């Protein structure tokens, strides 16, 4: 006879206290807002007329698809998110949402966004959206992010695809203009994220994420930021030089690019102390404004042309 | 016959009930938006809703 009774250990089932706000946080709303904006520009500069209902459907699906990528990213990266001050308060590391709930949420939204876009709009756009989600969740999050310092360079392709998806939604095909929009965001991503990584490198080092400042050092990162900014300014002006976008866009892209380049030079020159952190923060902040302004000009031109056409 | 009282099972706290209700409403709204979306696109495209370019 045993004096220890053999009771199986039963823990009470976990009852979720996650609110709607926690699930919205899984969608990375700030990233989503930039995705929606760039996609809107891709949709509106596309030739031909898109019915407003189809336009709203396309943007909604692209936004939900981007949110699904964010949820899948937060599911997979919960361990490193918990170690970084910028991400430690996210719903999964804090335990408000379990990793399984985040995974299910991400997968369900991925399925609905892709099938809805494919069924209601067209399957070129649906396929591209599926590829975007796959690229961000699998290629970037699961593979590149923890493996190489080039993580955000290659992974940046996922963030650059939304205007291409939107163009495909409007036209059912692809052409040079959305490729230019893709290239602008693609070459904008490294200086933007490396500027952030310069003043957050302790965070990334603690989490073991091989961001460029952690692996190659801040000075090598400053040089890379400068080189990528030079390429960015050239790529942003190229559609004007090649006759795809007009002179207002061209001059604006050169002015904005000139200021971005000046800030990148400032980051390259100021390497010590608070001045170096300030320069990196300034470049990070301006890079957001730069991308927004560049796409806003394209949007404004379309709106102005549409208004003038009404009175012509 | 067993006279022992059955345990009450899982009893949700007020906070858990409130959050569950919030989540249920959000799911209902999302499904409602999906229904409206499919209905609206069907009106816009008419019978061509199933005729999609590949």
Reported ipTM: 0.81
Q: What is the pLDDT of residues A35-47, one digit of tens each?
A: 999 999 999 999 9
Select from B38, B10, B17, B30 the least CA-distant residue to A119.
Answer: B38
Q: Is B53 touching A (CB cutoff 8 A)?
A: yes
Residue B51 has pLDDT above 70, yes or no: no
Contact B53 A122 (CB under 8 A): yes
Contacts of B32 in chain A (CB under 8 A): none
pLDDT at position A16:
83
Dist CA A26 CA A140 (whole Å)? 17
Contact A12 B10 (CB under 8 A): yes
Contacts of A116 in chain B (CB under 8 A): 34, 37
Chain B nearest-CA distance from A118, in A, is: 8
> Poorest-confidence range of A175-179, A248-252, B13-17?
B13-17
Dist CA A38 CA A181 (whole Å)? 8
Range list of β-strands (E), chain A: none
Reported confidence tier of residue B6, pLDDT bands at 50, 70, 90: confident
The residue of chain A with its CA nearest to that of B19 is: A19
Q: Give the angle A68-A104-A119 at the CA atoms, nearest 5°.
A: 55
Chain B nearest-CA distance from A112, in A, is: 9
Residue A236 has pLDDT above 80, yes or no: yes
Residue B8 has pLDDT above 80, yes or no: no
The residue of chain B with its CA nearest to that of A19 is: B19
Task: Give yes or no for a contact between B7 and A10, defined as CB atoms under 8 angstroms apart.
Answer: no
Residue A1 has pLDDT above 60, yes or no: no
Task: Give yes or no for a contact between A124 and A175, defined as CB atoms under 8 angstroms apart.
Answer: no
The residue of chain B with its CA nearest to that of A54 is: B41
pTM (predicted TM-score): 0.90
Contact A119 B54 (CB under 8 A): no
């Amino acid at each position: 006879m045993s004096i220890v009774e053999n009771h199986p250990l039963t823990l009470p089932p976990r009852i979720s206290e996650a609110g709607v706000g926690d699930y919205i946080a899984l969608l990375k709303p700030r990233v989503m807002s930039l995705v929606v904006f760039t996609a809107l520009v891709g949709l509106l500069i596309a030739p031909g007329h898109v019915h407003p209902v189809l336009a709203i459907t396309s943007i909604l699906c692209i936004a939900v698809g981007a949110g699904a990528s964010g949820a899948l990213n937060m599911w997979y990266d919960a361990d490193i998110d918990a170690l970084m001050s910028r991400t430690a308060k996210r719903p999964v590391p804090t335990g408000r949402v379990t990793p399984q709930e985040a995974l299910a949420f991400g997968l369900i939204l991925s399925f609905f966004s892709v099938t809805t876009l494919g069924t209601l709009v067209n399957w070129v756009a649906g396929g591209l959206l599926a590829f975007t989600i796959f690229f961000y969740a699998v290629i970037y999050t699961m593979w590149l992010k923890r493996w190489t310092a080039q993580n955000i360079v290659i992974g940046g392709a996922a963030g650059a695809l939304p205007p291409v998806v939107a163009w495909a939604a409007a036209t059912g095909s692809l052409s040079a203009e959305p490729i230019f929009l893709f290239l602008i965001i693609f070459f904008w991503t490294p200086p933007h994220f490396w500027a952030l990584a310069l003043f957050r490198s302790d965070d990334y080092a603690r989490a073991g994420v091989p961001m460029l400042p952690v692996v190659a050092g801040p000075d090598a990162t400053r040089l890379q930021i400068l080189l990528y900014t030079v390429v960015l300014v050239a790529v942003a002006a190229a559609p004007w030089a090649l006759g795809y976008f007009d002179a207002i866009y061209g001059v604006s892209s050169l002015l904005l690019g000139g200021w971005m380049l000046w800030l990148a030079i400032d980051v390259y020159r100021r390497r010590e102390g608070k001045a170096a952190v300030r320069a990196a923060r300034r470049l990070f902040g301006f890079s957001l404004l730069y991308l927004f302004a560049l796409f806003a000009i394209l949007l404004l031109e379309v709106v102005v042309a549409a208004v003038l056409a009404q009175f012509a | 016959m067993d006279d022992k009282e059955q345990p009450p099972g899982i009893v949700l706290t007020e906070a858990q009930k409130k959050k569950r209700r919030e989540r249920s409403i959000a799911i209902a709204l999302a499904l409602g938006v999906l229904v409206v979306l499919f209905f609206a696109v069907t009106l816009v495209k008419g019978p061509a809703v199933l005729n999609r370019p590949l």
